[in-house]
Every structure is written in structure tokens, then in C-alpha cells.
Structure 1
Amino acid sequence: MPFVCPGKLSWPELVGVDAQVAVATIEKENPGVQAVIVKPYGIIPPIFSCARVVVNVDCDYIVRRVPVVG
């Protein structure tokens, strides 16, 4: 049986939102995760983690991709 991460897993409603607002929203809606801001061309470790949400932002710190657990 595959492992399933608990809580909310994605936040499509945060695309276009300021990064700090997105981080606060994510960590409030799923207290078991830490939201990590990744700038353009930033490197994301290729290890899946149920405790991490990647928040991809542009140069103006606006969310550009749907934040997801991983």
C-alpha cells in the first residue's frame, strides 16, 4: 500500500499571490509542512518529503507554479 501524505497537498489558488502570503497560508492550512520558497533557477533537492511544500516564485516573489507537497 503506497504512503499518502496527510493534510492538504496542493494550493492552486495561490498562483499569482505574494510569496510570504503563500507561505503563511500553506503552513496554516497544513501545520505538518514547511513551505520553502524557490527563486527562478533555484535547485530543489530531488528527495520527496511529506513535510515540505515547494513554492516557486518569480523575481518579484510572486508564486508562478502551484505549490505542492514534496
Structure 2
Amino acid sequence: MYSLPRCPGKNSWPELVGANGEAAAATIENENSNVNAIVVVDGVPVIMDFRCTRVWVWVNRAGNVVRAPRIG
């Protein structure tokens, strides 16, 4: 069975669902300096490799977070 690597620092932000995506990205990077938070519109294809240094911030067309951002 494959297990995901353990990444340093906070790795999930469920409290940001509904928040503005750009503000959420800033919060994420402030709370975990090891990551780069990337805002992307929900449904747009992205690379699927796992990285401890990346957080996808999925937003709707209005720019609000639609799912809990997490490292990956």
C-alpha cells in the first residue's frame, strides 16, 4: 500500500472554504512557509504529482474557495 509522505507544518485548511481565494492563499503561505499556494479555478486541469511544497486553492468563478486546500 502506498502512503503519502509526511510534510512539515500545517497541511490542510478546511476553515478557508468560502473565503476569497487570494486571501486564502496568503493565509496558507503565512501559516506554512514551506508551501506555495496556487489559486486555480475548479475544474481546470492541473499536474497531479504530489509535492509537499504546493497547495492548490480551488476557487469558483467568483473567486471563493470551494474545497479545503491541502498540501499536494
C-alpha distance after superposition, 1:11-65 (max 9, x if no partner): 0000000011101100000000000111132112010000000110000000000
1:30 matched to 2:32? The reply is yes
Aligned residues: 70
The alignment yields a C-alpha RMSD, in angstroms, of 1.5
Cα distance in 2 between the residues matched to 1:61 and 1:41: 13
TM-score (norm 1): 0.93
Deviation at 1:10, TM superposition (A): 0.2
Aligned residue number for residue 59 of structure 2: 57
Aligned residue number for residue 69 of structure 2: 67
Where does structure 1 lack aligned partners over 5 or more consecutive residues? none
Structure 1 vs Structure 2: percent identity of aligned residues? 45
TM-score (norm 2): 0.91
